[in-house]
A and B are shown apart, each in its own frame.
Chain A
């Protein structure tokens, strides 16, 4: 009964969304407050109905109701509870329901927190949001009903893909969707502003917290996915430039650009049409991600079951939403004239270059991801674009951005004093060079590009710290004053400092884990000792272990350093009998200095199997932990910024009164 009620409430939500997509717009045009305010009621009601549907599906998974097809296909009664819950969004239908649920949560969020928005802007934003709801709810009801029944019900379910039975991946989709869908609000804001034909500082101020919230979630989602790939796939890599990774990365890059361009629109009333365009494109890329993952358009390890009919439907949605908004943009944007003139050396110019680089980088990733499709369409040739392309094209492009990132915060608005900054940063530059040379001497290997990356990472770290020290006058006054200033610094400033430091750490982690890593792949019999980094790893043999819904063969690796026992690693090869597949469970010894990473795979030669020999893959990846710490700092910095009083109070004050305060904040 509950699944049917869930299905029915989805239909009701669709009806509400239809109402919400029309009435408030009419109201905004006629100036009818009652019609405009109807959007709030329908937004709340939508979240209730979709939430109910989601709870119904969740319940079906928790109680292992195998009369529901979706549960049968993706769950199993033996599976641990946490993964039964996670399986709710493990399938195409379930994840779509989660997607829409988050969409309606954000819609309700605008209704709740938007009390200080002008009524017409709020009504239009909610209306645009409802269009997206209509698109996805109808998609779900017409092509992907999560509540389909099966008769006769089977005794037990087919189990979820074992690769996905993991805590990192259980949390990955919700966070990623919060990010993707969060940008829908920004998109709705942009479309509403285009309909109204007005973009001002106040608009940018309302958009910023939503962008930040979405960006933080997306960052966390991507980092979690990357972490999962690192320890679950058994390759020791954390980024593969897989199409599905790329489609989550592109909105992130563009979202980062949006985050920064919105600052300029807010503070200086410039970059208006650019900010609007970024808002549209960021969400468009999120939609594109949804499309690519669900249509089977590109080859990827992540893709859901391929269904051309679904692909067509999403393509139609894409055409309407992206095509529609860009048409609106082409029609309205030329009328938007930005204020705020600035000199070539100024914070505006710095942020402009930041935006150009980020946009170009996004374009590069987009091109590389879709190039196989383009080539196949034109010449019929099938190729795949590998990491080589992305590493060669993307990394050098980002390096100037990192340099600028260190410099940017020192630039003042309108016109900056370049000579003064050079004078001020001479010391930092020297320190950077010395520190980098010392680090390089200690590790002493890698290509020139890696050294340039190292130099820039250290540069970013030092300049960011220096900028913070300068703000609190750490070296120019006594400690008491510095402490007082440090406490009075707005949280947004700390947010920036934390996030930028996070990028520096992230880069160090990337360099360490790719350039300085040590890797051994060996076909080894028990008793073999391998040398890796400073460790001696002895393969002592394998044993068998049983889990709740799997059994595994476990390698026993004794790790020693200079003859001293360090630890024992147990990499596993798990076999899931119900899902009929195997997974690699790598064993990792993580320290701040580096990760010792081991995975095993079964031999295919029968003679070798008899001798108990396995293929061992052991890596030592220095500093890889900095990637996770850096990602965490990015998120934490975003949250700090989000909690800034300015945004929390969020009142649309007249831009004159906030001038001085805002100047300090940035």
Chain B
């Protein structure tokens, strides 16, 4: 038994070493996630409006007639964290005057309409991405994901996961302020 315990540190070290060896694979870039799309033009996409909603559809060309950076939020009614995030985004729209566009990712229009009726609809435009093509173009790794996009269609900021909780909200707000998407103060 003593002998076995004495071997434990070595075994753990070997397991760690294996992971490190894998991690050194030259094709792997740990910074990949945050850097994709940042400072790049947003991808081409054109989405119809969600059936049963009055909100217009959403496509790449819509960035053309903007006056300031906007939030682009990828959401779905089946995504539980989106529900929590919805409140936060609504707050940014209503209290801070941010402009919010949505991509309804792999969602049934019926469910999306019900969801928005229940929670309210802060989105100026919503594109229905039923087959998830636009999601692939945007390179999302899951739902929700939120971007800040400049008037000329350049992606300024990307947030993976729900913008919920004190720290993420603060970070996101700061990004909004720095992008000039919201006016703070007077």
Which residues does A use to contact B, with CB under 8 Å? 273, 277, 280-281, 284, 291, 295-299, 308, 311-312, 315, 318-319, 322-323, 326-327, 329-331, 333-334, 370, 372-374, 376-377, 381-382, 386-388, 521-525, 528, 601, 603-605, 608, 615
Inter-subunit contact B165/A329 (CB<8 Å)? no
B167 A601 Cβ-Cβ under 8 A: no
Given contacts A523-B183, A523-B184, contact A388 B2 (CB under 8 A): no
Q: CB-nearest residue of chain A relative to B27?
A: A308
Task: Give Cα distance in the complex from A329 to B10, angstroms.
Answer: 8
Known: A281-B9, A323-B10, A370-B19. 5 other contacts (CB 8 A): A298-B30, A327-B10, A329-B10, A330-B3, A330-B9
What is the 8 Å Cβ interface bit string for chain B, positions 69-91, against chain A (1 contact, 0 not)? 00000000000000000000000
A–B complex contacts, Cβ < 8 Å, 19 sampled:
A296-B30, A299-B30, A318-B17, A318-B20, A322-B17, A323-B13, A326-B10, A331-B6, A333-B6, A370-B16, A373-B19, A521-B184, A522-B184, A525-B186, A528-B186, A605-B68, A605-B180, A615-B177, A615-B184
B6/A388 in contact, CB under 8 A: no
Measured CB to CB, the closest approach of chain A to B12, in angstroms, equals: 9
Q: Within the assembled complex, what's the spacing in Å between the Cα atoms of A615 and B184? A: 9
- Decide: B180 and A608 in contact? CB cutoff 8 A: yes
Q: How far is the CA of A102 from the CA of B182 in the complex (A)?
A: 51
Q: B111 → chain A, closest Cβ, in Å?
A: 26
> Mask for B172-186, Cβ within 8 A of A = 1, else 0?
011001111001111
Closest to B28 in A: A376
State in angstroms the CA–CA spacing of A115 and B32 once bound together: 54
- Within 8 Å by CB of B178, from A322, A522, A601, lies A601
User: When each residue 42-86 of chain B gets 1 if its CB lies under 8 Å from chain A and 0 otherwise, what string results?
Assistant: 000000000000000000000000001000000000000000000
Given the interface pairs A323-B17, A608-B180, the reply to whether A297 lies near B3 with Cβ below 8 Å is no
Known: A273-B6, A330-B10. A295 touches B184 (CB 8 A): no
Query: Which B residue sits closest to A322, measured CB to CB?
Result: B13
Bound state CA distance, A45 and B174, in angstroms? 55
Partner of B177, one of A284, A298, A523: A523
| A615 to B183 CA separation, bound complex (whole angstroms) | 10
Q: Which of A284, A377, A601 contacts B22 (CB 8 A)?
A: A377
Q: List B contacts of A370 (CB < 8 A).
A: 16, 19
Does B24 have its Cβ within 8 Å of any Cβ on chain A?
A: yes
B142: nearest chain-A partner, CB-CB? A381
Number of interface residues of B (CB under 8 A): 37
The answer to whether B180 touches A604, judged by C-beta atoms less than 8 angstroms apart, is yes
Report how far A312 CA is from B24 CA in the complex, Å.
7
A315 to B13, CA, bound (A): 12
- B31's nearest neighbour on chain A, judged by CB, is A299
Find chain A residues with CB under 8 A from B22 CB. 377
* Neighbour of A377 across the interface among B7, B14, B23, B184, CB < 8 A: B23
The residue of chain B having its C-beta at the shortest distance from the C-beta of A312 within the complex is: B24
Shortest distance in angstroms between B1's beta carbon and chain A's nearest beta carbon? 9
A521 touches B177 (CB 8 A): yes
Question: Which chain B residue has the least Cβ–Cβ distance from A373?
Answer: B23
Residue B39 at the A interface, CB < 8 A? no
Kindly report which residue of chain A lies nearest to residue B25, judged by CB atoms. Answer: A308
Chain B residues within 8 Å of A601, by CB? 178
Q: Which 6 A-B pairs have the closest CB atoms?
A: A605-B180, A326-B10, A523-B184, A308-B26, A334-B2, A330-B7
Contact of B185 among A299, A523, A605 (CB under 8 A): A523
B119 close to chain A: CB less than 8 A: no
Q: Do residues B174 and A382 form an inter-chain contact, with CB atoms below 8 A?
A: no
Given A277, A281, A297, A381, which contacts B20 in the complex, CB threshold below 8 Å? A297
Report chain A residues within 8 Å CB of B179: 604
Q: Is the CB of A323 within 8 A of B184?
A: no
Q: In whole angstroms, how far apart are the Cα atoms of A625 and B33 in the complex?
A: 37
Contact call A295/B19, Cβ cutoff below 8 A? no
Which residues of B have CB within 8 Å of A521?
A: 173-174, 177, 184
- Whether B17 pairs with A315 at a CB distance below 8 angstroms is yes
Q: B9 touches which one: A319, A329, A522 (CB < 8 A)?
A: A329
Whole-angstrom distance between the Cβ of A524 and the nearest chain B Cβ: 6
A625–B31 CA distance with the chains assembled, in angstroms: 35
A388 to chain B, nearest CB (A): 7
Tell whether A326 pairs with B23 under 8 Å between CB atoms, given A273-B6, A334-B6, A605-B68. Answer: no
Contacting residues, chain B, for A608 (C-beta < 8 A): 180
- Smallest distance from the beta carbon of B59 to chain A beta carbons, Å? 25
Q: Which of A297, A312, A386, A604 contacts B167 (CB 8 A)?
A: A386
- A297 partner, pick from B2, B30, B33, B186, beta carbons under 8 A: B30
The proximity string for B residues 142-184 relative to A, scoring 1 for CB distances below 8 Å and 0 otherwise, is 0000000000000000000000010100000110011110011
User: Given the complex of chains A and B, what is the CA–CA distance between A277 and B17 in angstroms?
Assistant: 18
A524: which B residues are within 8 A, CB to CB? 185-186
Count chain B CB atoms within 10 A of each CB in A318, A373, A524 and give the residue with the most. Answer: A373
Give Cα A323–Cα B11 distance, bound, in whole angstroms.
9
User: Given known contacts A308-B24, A388-B165, A523-B185, is B9 in contact with A326 (CB within 8 Å)?
Assistant: yes
Q: Decide: A311 and B24 in contact? CB cutoff 8 A.
A: yes
Bound together, the chains give a CA A160 to CA B186 distance in angstroms of: 39
A387 adjacent to B26 (CB under 8 Å): no
- Smallest Cβ-Cβ distance to A386: which chain B residue: B167
A601 CA to B6 CA, complexed, in Å: 54
Closest to A324 in B: B10
**Closest Cβ of chain A: how far from B137's Cβ, in Å?**
19
Nearest Cβ in chain A — how far from B50, in angstroms?
A: 29
| Residues B33 and A284 in contact, CB atoms below 8 Å apart | no
Q: Decide: A326 and B19 in contact? CB cutoff 8 A.
A: no
Residues of chain B contacted by A312 (CB below 8 angstroms): 24
Chain A residues in 8 Å Cβ range of B40: none
Q: Tell me the complex Cα distance, A388–B26, Å.
A: 31
Measured in the bound complex, the distance between the Cα atoms of B8 and A281 in whole Å is 13
B30-A291 in contact (CB<8A): no
User: What's the Cα separation between A615 and B174 when bound, in Å?
Assistant: 10
Task: Please determine whether B32 and A326 come into contact, CB atoms closer than 8 angstroms.
Answer: no
Which interface residue of B3, B16, B165, B179 has the most chain A CB atoms within 10 A? B16
Q: Which residues on the A side are within 8 Å of B17 (C-beta)? A: 315, 318-319, 322-323
Instruction: Identify which of B19, B22, B185 gathers the most chain A CB atoms within 10 Å of its CB.
Output: B185
Residue of A nearest to B32 (CB): A382
Among A319, A381, A388, A523: residue with most chain B CB under 10 A:
A523
* A308 to B10 Cα, complex, angstroms: 25
Q: In the complex, what's the smallest C-beta–C-beta distance from A202 to chain B, in angstroms?
A: 23
Name the B residues within 8 Å of A280 (CB-CB).
9
Q: How far is the CA of A322 from the CA of B167 in the complex (A)?
A: 38
* A437 CA to B36 CA, complexed, in Å: 51
Q: Tell me how far the C-beta of B71 lies from the nearest C-beta in chain A, rounded to whole angstroms.
A: 15
Nearest-CB residue, chain A, relative to B174? A521
Specify which of B21, B31, B167, B185 is in contact with A315 (CB 8 Å cutoff): B21
Distance (whole angstroms) from the CB of B17 to the closest CB of chain A? 6
Nearest CB of A to B66, in Å: 13
Note all chain A residues with C-beta closer than 8 A to B23. Answer: 295, 297, 373, 376-377
Contacts A323-B13, A329-B9, A521-B177; is A315 near B3 (CB within 8 Å)? no
- The answer on a CB contact under 8 Å between B6 and A522 is no
In the complex, A49 Cα to B174 Cα: how many Å? 51
B95 to chain A, nearest CB (A): 14
**CB of A371 to closest CB in B, whole Å:** 11
- Chain B residues lying within 8 Å of A373, measured Cβ to Cβ, are 19-20, 23, 30
CB-nearest residue of chain B relative to A527?
B186
Residues of B near A311 (CB, < 8 A) are 24
